[in-house]
Structure 1
Amino acid sequence: MGKLEPQPAPATMSGQIIFGALPGRASFGGVADPAASPPRKGSAMMATELTTRMLAPEDYPRWVATVAASPDGSVYSLPDYLDALCTATGGRFRVLVAEHNDGHIVGGIALFECDSRYGSFVSPRRLLYYNGLVLSPHDSTCPGHVTARYLQTLDAIERTLAQLRYGRLRFKSRSTCTDLRTFQSRGWSVRPSYTYVVDIGDMPAAWARLDKNHRRLIGRCTEQGLQLTLDDDFDAFHHLHLQTHERKGAPLYLPRESFRQFVETLRARNLGRLYHARLPDGRVAATQLVLTGPHPVSHTVCAGAEAELLSLGATAFLRWRVLEDLAAAGYRANDLTDAELNSVTTFKAQLGGELSLCLEVSRPDQLGFRLGEMAASLPNRARRGVRRALHRSAGGSA
């Protein structure tokens, strides 16, 4: 497999960006972007000469370099990835950055926007587990100076985000982004979520952390001739994705053909890999979609297994062989995506991953958006109430 190399962003994004009348500035809802407003006197923006703006496509390569170098970065913040997701879902995106007068980007956030009948909104979703902050590392050896710079950057970003006219604005950053006091102090809510991250910088150490039953299954599958393949067999992948949906109630991420185009685009841009565990006769026993890119942390976002072959242990075999392949390509970690309390998360823990705390930040929904969401949920809430009442009635008459 090829070594990890930064991938340049394309010059344009097929009309997914919305620009306003001011050069280099974006608009939202027909109103000039608040990032174009001058900083307030005495503000952190003025003290450090920081400004915020929505990037034009020609500036995307600088943002890609920022994402690749930041501990907070991920494939989810890359314009190439967001463009593919826009094509698959009908969304759109913009990139808000804070920068010095010399153009050096010190932080930012990629905003993937969707529309509903109640207004535009920004929120994590399937295939967009993180949509949060990316801060440039600071070279100072003084922790106090580093913290002060980060807080000043967050101040500039928060002031702009607070003025954007979304019905809902929620974002979740990677576990490396922990100091969100700026947002909390200004009325934003901060909620914890969790994921497992496997360190693959030292594979012998990673093997030692692996659950002993997983090691046994991996050895058995190897003896039986299972092999790891990296290919474009989307049909096999989607077949097992659909099986998992039917067997466990797992969500279908996208309509079939939209999903196919999405995966093909990611593969063409070196942002995604389809892995399979194949039997000697070529049948696929397990499958996995991994997001890659220029950042050293990869992300496993979708997996499936053949129901008739579950006892074989192919899923454990595939997970481990994929980690080996990613490590050989230069990746340092693999985010297993989410850690809800269920059987899948138990399996993830057995892979030797570290439980990581991620923070989701949200401002209060606009009133119209909140009321619309409540009204839309009433039929489902009523049906659940009826089912509970029927269940209690049946229990009482038994």
Structure 2
Amino acid sequence: MSIDVTRLDADEFDEWDRAVDRSPEATVFHRSAVLERLADYTGAELYPLVGYKGQEPVGILPLFEVEKGPMRAAFSPPPAAWAEYLGPARLNMAKLSRRKAERRHQGLLDGCFEYVDETIDPAITRIDTGPRYDDVRPFQWGGYEVEPQYTYVVELTDEADLLDRFSSDARSNIDTSYDADYTVRAEGERAVGRILDQVERRYREQDRPVSMPRRFIDDLAVALPDEQLRPYVCRVDGEFVGGILALADDDTVYRWIGGVRPERDVALPVNDLLDWRVMTDALADGRSRYDLVGAGAERINEYKAKFDPVLETSYRVHSNPLLFDAASWAYEQFERRRLSMAGDGTDGRSGLLSGAAAGLFDRK
């Protein structure tokens, strides 16, 4: 099926965001405000591709071209920016028969990658889909490698039903009256840095150096409305003890960054109270899903599972397996070095790469 694929210009981003609003598979990371800042932060070139059947949009695919040394790569999203999901998102297909919908989906991807091959000609491609994009067969048929990724999603109904579904310890942690002067609420932009600082310290305590994309997140905090990016903070006696940076789209709130173990010993379950506040605010805002962002770490999953979430699957799609792993790591290391030298407050991550692999994304 013939689908015409067009790259939108910046002055057409209203059209892009209307498509995002109409797609049940799009996420907050698909919004133009996020994409523009991802491109600026990583130095990548953004390709916001839209597929049309006649005048009707049938799908979108945001891609980022990265060129380092002799190699070009296409990412969605780009590495080293902590954007969780991107990839294709379909729209205007719900009323079609399965046969027509699958043909249209195949035509969308064929058109996108024909455009990419002619325009970018990437040596490697990596795409991380959203959890509502459920059909990666066209990628497999096209020779791409597909790896499942997992997340937990709490279905938000009402407060009483939620508590009834939670584990007994979660219910107790939320319902108990504590002999402490504490607050849990969404705060302003200044709280973003406190949350990022705490996450970085926690990673270092575990000998897991991490590079937080501070400038990208700070820019998002300014660009997105308050209801789309909120830093939730728990304070005891007025002092910061923990926080979660949450992102939101029309029906989903994402537990994006934070929720690590508090550094101070306090007599209350900080993260349970933070998660509960995010969920109750989401309910008040009319949202129906709380994406806990990740379900692949056994140690952390025990905590997340007590909220009775549904396990959902997303996918990492990539081409050229022989080059993919080495080139992706080389690029991420390059980005961390670049941002550190630029005074972005990041640190490098150690890793062993062959000279050839490291050279794939060396500074031009």
Indicate whether the TM-score tops 0.5.
Answer: yes
Q: Deviations over 1:308-361 (max 9, x none)?
A: 236621111101111111121122212111212332222111222111111221
- Tell me which structure has the larger Cα radius of gyration: 1
Name the CA distance, whole Å, in 1 between partners of 2:314 and 2:95.
25
Residue type at the aligned position of 2:13: Y
Q: Report if aligned partners of 1:158, 1:183 keep a CA contact under 8 Å in 2.
A: no
SS of equivalent residue, structure 1 residue 252? coil
Name the CA distance, whole Å, in 1 between partners of 2:213 and 2:122.
26
How far has the Cα of 1:197 moved from its partner?
A: 1.1
How far has the Cα of 1:101 moved from its partner?
A: 2.5
- Are 2:233 and 1:276 equivalent residues in the alignment? yes
1:97 matched residue in structure 2: 50
Q: Report if aligned partners of 2:145, 2:321 keep a CA contact under 8 Å in 1.
A: no
How far has the Cα of 1:235 moved from its partner?
A: 3.8
Question: Cα distance 1:282–1:374, how it changes in 2: closer, same or farther (>3 A)?
Answer: closer
2:104 matched residue in structure 1: 149
How far has the Cα of 1:72 moved from its partner?
A: 0.8
Name the CA distance, whole Å, in 2 between partners of 1:199 and 1:375.
38
2:126 matched residue in structure 1: 170
Name the CA distance, whole Å, in 2 between partners of 1:262 and 1:97.
25
1:71 matched residue in structure 2: 24
Which of 315, 338, 347 pairs up with 1:359? 315
SS of equivalent residue, structure 1 residue 165? coil
Which of 283, 302, 309 pairs up with 2:257? 302
- Are 2:192 and 1:240 equivalent residues in the alignment? no
Q: Report if aligned partners of 1:243, 1:307 keep a CA contact under 8 Å in 2.
A: no
1:289 matched residue in structure 2: 245
Which structure 2 residue ranges, 5 or more long, are not aligned? 334-349, 355-364
How far has the Cα of 1:166 moved from its partner?
A: 2.1
Q: Report if aligned partners of 1:169, 1:363 keep a CA contact under 8 Å in 2.
A: yes
Which structure 1 residue ranges, 5 or more long, are not aligned? 1-43, 384-398
1:82 matched residue in structure 2: 35
2:145 matched residue in structure 1: 189
Q: What TM-score comes out, normalization by structure 1 length? A: 0.73
SS of equivalent residue, structure 2 residue 265? helix
Name the CA distance, whole Å, in 1 between partners of 2:101 and 2:328.
41
SS of equivalent residue, structure 1 residue 355? strand
Question: Cα distance 1:357–1:139, how it changes in 2: closer, same or farther (>3 A)?
Answer: closer
Which of 37, 60, 74 pairs up with 1:108? 60
Which of 242, 257, 268 pairs up with 1:312? 268
Question: Cα distance 1:249–1:354, how it changes in 2: closer, same or farther (>3 A)?
Answer: farther
Name the CA distance, whole Å, in 1 between partners of 2:224 and 2:163.
28
Name the CA distance, whole Å, in 1 between partners of 2:266 and 2:64.
37
Name the CA distance, whole Å, in 2 between partners of 1:351 and 1:291.
19
Name the CA distance, whole Å, in 1 between partners of 2:24 and 2:351.
41
SS of equivalent residue, structure 1 residue 308? coil
Which of 242, 249, 264 pairs up with 2:221? 264
Deviates more, 1:244-253 or 1:165-174: 244-253
Q: Report if aligned partners of 2:19, 2:60 keep a CA contact under 8 Å in 1.
A: no
Q: Report if aligned partners of 1:286, 1:306 keep a CA contact under 8 Å in 2.
A: yes
How far has the Cα of 1:187 moved from its partner?
A: 0.9
Question: Cα distance 1:144–1:213, how it changes in 2: closer, same or farther (>3 A)?
Answer: same
Name the CA distance, whole Å, in 1 between partners of 2:123 and 2:70.
7
Q: What TM-score comes out, normalization by structure 2 length? A: 0.79
Question: Cα distance 1:306–1:155, how it changes in 2: closer, same or farther (>3 A)?
Answer: same
SS of equivalent residue, structure 2 residue 311? strand
How far has the Cα of 1:371 moved from its partner?
A: 7.5
Q: Report if aligned partners of 2:184, 2:235 keep a CA contact under 8 Å in 1.
A: yes
Q: Deviations over 1:15-74 (max 9, x none)?
A: xxxxxxxxxxxxxxxxxxxxxxxxxxxxx21xxxx2001111222112212212212110
Q: Report if aligned partners of 2:76, 2:87 keep a CA contact under 8 Å in 1.
A: no
Q: Report if aligned partners of 1:253, 1:259 keep a CA contact under 8 Å in 2.
A: no
Which of 84, 100, 105 pairs up with 1:129? 84
Count of matched residue positions in the alignment of Structure 1 and Structure 2 = 330
SS of equivalent residue, structure 1 residue 131? coil
How far has the Cα of 1:196 moved from its partner?
A: 0.9
Q: CA RMSD in A?
A: 3.0
Name the CA distance, whole Å, in 2 between partners of 1:255 and 1:143.
41
Q: Percent identity?
A: 21
Q: Give 4+ residue runs of structure 1 displaced > 6 Å after superposition.
A: 369-377
Q: Report if aligned partners of 1:132, 1:173 keep a CA contact under 8 Å in 2.
A: yes
2:160 matched residue in structure 1: 204
Which of 52, 62, 82 pairs up with 2:5? 52
